[in-house]
Amino acid sequence: MADHYEVLGVARDASSEEIKKAYRRLARQLHPDVNPGEDASERFKLVTHAYDVLSDPDQRARYDMGGDSPFGGAGGQGGFGGFGDIFETFFGAAGGQRAGRPRSRRERGQDALVRVTLDLKDVVFGVHRDLDVDTAVLCETCQGSCCQPGTSPVTCDICHGAGNVQRTVRSLLGNVVTSQPCGSCQGYGTTIPYPCATCQGQGRVRARRTVSIDIPAGVETGLRLQLPGSGEVGPAGGPNGDLYIEVTVSPHEEFSRDGDDLLATLEVSMSDAILGTTTTIESLDGPVDLELRAGVQGGDVLTIKNRGITPLRGTQRGDLRVGVHVVTPTRLDARERALIEDFAKRTKAPAPRLAEFHQGLFAKLRDRFRNS
């Protein structure tokens, strides 16, 4: 429960005129027509209630005797205010600091999260990125002091820098000394008579800044990289939080990832599969010569060493594994058909027969990729 004298920012022996002046000054600042903020509205209610009590001699006398305490009830009506009020009376408001120790305006800033999308090639080699981050940065005008240049915080004249005030109230248990955060300085022990106009007395402003980061090879979708101290600056120039970079890897048209290996499918004509050939394919880090032996079968996997992904914690690259897909022609002219028929007669190939069951070509390729 806030102390009415603290709310109005006056001493306990203040005269009626001083109480009236304090109320008028605060009312002009906090009236909803002038300051529509929710915090200002709540403070305006507290100020109004405090003035209603202290401006009436009878209510003020009862309040000074503890009639408006949690034990006496608002306006001197009897009844206990519940366990929360009792604890507040003995130990101060919830969340308040220990007696004699004011709050610090400087607090650690919040962590920030930035999402970045990478190509598969970036994952193979790692990449440098400059990221634009919209976050809180130190106010250049006041450098985190929260004050207009040339001014500084002043010691609160209500709590005298302690950040909390003590009051003695009479209750059913006798005189009880309570300690609560000072309502005039909000527990900081100091007030800022001239807040910085740039940051509105916060010591920080919102701004866009650029963060440079070297993203290592081997990252994968969902991985978060932590940059300590690169997040938001705290209130009053407090220490920065951390910045987290969340990675998403875009699908590639020709390659896919299997651990540290890269997978690809190579389409081979029937004649090249029969006779064998040498070809050049474009890997993610340049052209690679690939030799197909004569009689290569559909579903065979050719391994090219050290053309895969560098692991996140290691130096030995994975492999590039290429699955062979033999393409059977679907349109033949008369001469081509005759040649094929002649070839069939000469080779006397066995008739079609049932063989070991497979889940189709792609399942066969997948299994061979994993087991090769």
Q: What is the pLDDT along the chain (372 residues), one digit of tens a residue?
A: 578 888 888 888 889 888 888 888 888 787 766 677 677 777 878 888 888 888 888 888 878 776 554 333 333 333 333 344 434 434 444 344 444 578 899 999 999 999 999 999 999 989 999 999 999 999 999 999 999 999 999 999 888 888 888 877 666 666 777 778 888 888 999 999 999 999 999 999 999 999 999 999 999 999 999 999 999 999 999 999 999 999 999 999 999 999 899 999 999 999 899 999 999 999 888 999 999 999 999 889 999 999 999 888 888 889 999 999 999 888 888 898 898 888 878 877 777 777 665 555 445 555 555 555
Domain with 6 in it? 1-63
Q: Do residues 208 and 236 share a domain?
A: yes
Q: Do residues 24 and 42 share a domain?
A: yes
Q: Do residues 272 and 243 share a domain?
A: no
Cβ–Cβ under 8 Å, residues 318 and 261:
yes
185 labeled binding residue? yes
147 labeled binding residue? no
Q: What is the pLDDT of residues 305-342, one digit of tens each?
A: 999 998 888 888 899 999 999 998 888 888 988 988 88
Domain boundary among 63, 82, 117: 63
Domain boundary among 63, 78, 93: 63
Q: Do residues 228 and 290 share a domain?
A: no
Q: Do residues 279 and 343 share a domain?
A: yes
Domain boundary among 225, 250, 275: 250
Phi first, then psi, for residue 206 (nearest 5°) are -85, 135
146 labeled binding residue? no
Q: Do residues 280 and 317 share a domain?
A: yes
Q: Does any domain span residue 5?
A: yes
Q: Does any domain span residue 175?
A: no
Q: Do residues 269 and 327 share a domain?
A: yes
Cβ–Cβ under 8 Å, residues 115 and 142:
no
As beta bridge partners, residue 195 has 147
Ranges assigned E (strand) in 66-203: 112-118, 127-138, 154-155, 164-171, 174-181, 190-191
| DSSP-derived pairing of the beta strands 320-327 and 164-171 | unpaired
Q: Does any domain span residue 125?
A: yes
CATH of the domain at 234: 2.60.260.20
139 labeled binding residue? yes
H, E, C per residue of 340-357:
HHHHHHHHCCCCCCCCCC
Q: Does any domain span residue 120?
A: yes
Cβ–Cβ under 8 Å, residues 322 and 268:
no
Q: Report the distance separating Cα 353 and Cα 59, nearest Å.
A: 105
Alpha helices by DSSP H, listed for the chain, are 4-8, 16-30, 38-54, 57-64, 83-91, 120-125, 270-275, 334-347, 361-371
Q: Do residues 355 and 242 share a domain?
A: no
Q: What is the pLDDT of residues 232-265, one digit of tens each?
A: 999 999 999 999 999 999 999 999 999 899 999 9
Q: Does any domain span residue 97?
A: no
Q: Do residues 110 and 244 share a domain?
A: yes
**Which of the 8 DSSP states describes residue 304?**
E
Q: Does any domain span residue 39?
A: yes
Q: Into how many domains does the chain fold?
A: 3
